[in-house]
Structure 1
Amino acid sequence: MGVKLIKVSALYFVLGVSLGYYMSVAHAYHLTGVHAHVNLLGWTSMTLAGLIYILFPKAGSSMLGKIHFWLHNIGLPLMMVGLFLLLQGNSALEVLIPIGATCVLVAVILFAVNVLLNVKKEEVEARFQK
């Protein structure tokens, strides 16, 4: 899961920077919320989760890690498409925002539970004593 999260986060990084570029060129600053969420929940959060899953393989290979990965990567695009359209004046798919946000929230809660259960101080100490 760690490598998968980092690879997907790189795509979110490209998307976030591309959206920021578009916003600058088109003066479409009303899309700042989408830009920020793509960069923070996509690029930054997924990269950090990926690194944690690599450093702590038990967390990365757990069922919680797998569910976290899928919920995060289903919820974030749903939420961002809904928010993008809403900010463009189209409320037809506004329902995607709370659906996606709920998926991401549950994913983040499962990530936190996974860290609490499967990230152990002893693994860090053993890794750095080698």
Structure 2
Amino acid sequence: MRYDLIFITTALLCLLVGETLGIHMGISQDFTLVPAHVHLNLLGWVTLAAFGLMHRAYPALGASRMALVQCVLAIIANIAMPAGLALMLLSANHDPTLVKYASLAVILATVLFIIMFVRKVALAKAA
């Protein structure tokens, strides 16, 4: 599977949505969603693009049995976190439940990526 393309395509979509949200806030002069906008650009665009570029630089990462799980978890979590922030900021009760669980999932996806990198790249025997 081409994890590099999956991550980078998803990152580009996050960038587009983040930019659109930023433009909307600028036009409307309502900056309530700034934290969600920032997290979408940093988590969605930067983090997912970095994962994609790492997969491109080190194709052995895609051979890991964890690669699919890490990819799905990273994409869902890195989108759910800013979405949860937006819901929390817009709702009357400001429930942070989605933000909390998505944040933990972001960390788990990163830990899985680190494990994959160490096993498949850093500790790999030179051929």
Range class of TM-score, shorter chain: 0.7 to 0.9
Q: Percent identity?
A: 26
- AA at the equivalent of 1:8: T
- Unpaired runs of 5+ residues, structure 1, are none
SS at match of 1:12: helix
Is the aligned partner of 1:99 residue 2:68? no
* Partner of residue 65 from structure 1, selected from 67, 80, 90: 67
Q: Which residue does the alignment assign to 1:3?
A: 5
SS at match of 1:30: coil
- AA at the equivalent of 1:13: L
How much has 1:14 moved relative to structure 2? 0.5
Maintained 8 Å contact 1:68/1:107: yes
- AA at the equivalent of 2:79: P
RMSD: 2.3
* Partner of residue 77 from structure 2, selected from 75, 81, 101: 75
How much has 1:63 moved relative to structure 2? 2.3
Distance 1:64 1:91, change over 3 A: farther
Q: Which residue does the alignment assign to 1:13?
A: 15
Q: TM-score, normalised by structure 1?
A: 0.83
- AA at the equivalent of 1:48: A
Q: Which residue does the alignment assign to 1:38?
A: 40
How much has 1:23 moved relative to structure 2? 1.3
Q: Which residue does the alignment assign to 1:24?
A: 26
Moved more, 97-106 or 84-93: 84-93
**Per-residue Cα deviation, 1:24-56 (whole angstroms, up to 9, x for no partner):** 111222312111111111111111110111111
Question: How many residues are treated as equivalent by the alignment?
Answer: 125
- Unpaired runs of 5+ residues, structure 2, are none
Whole-angstrom distance in 2 between the partners of 1:95 and 1:122: 39
Q: Which residue does the alignment assign to 1:49?
A: 51
- AA at the equivalent of 1:79: M
Maintained 8 Å contact 2:48/2:75: no
SS at match of 2:33: helix
Going by fraction, where is helix more abundant, 1 or 2? 1
Moved more, 46-55 or 60-69: 60-69
How much has 1:77 moved relative to structure 2? 2.7
Distance 1:62 1:88, change over 3 A: same
Distance 1:104 1:65, change over 3 A: same
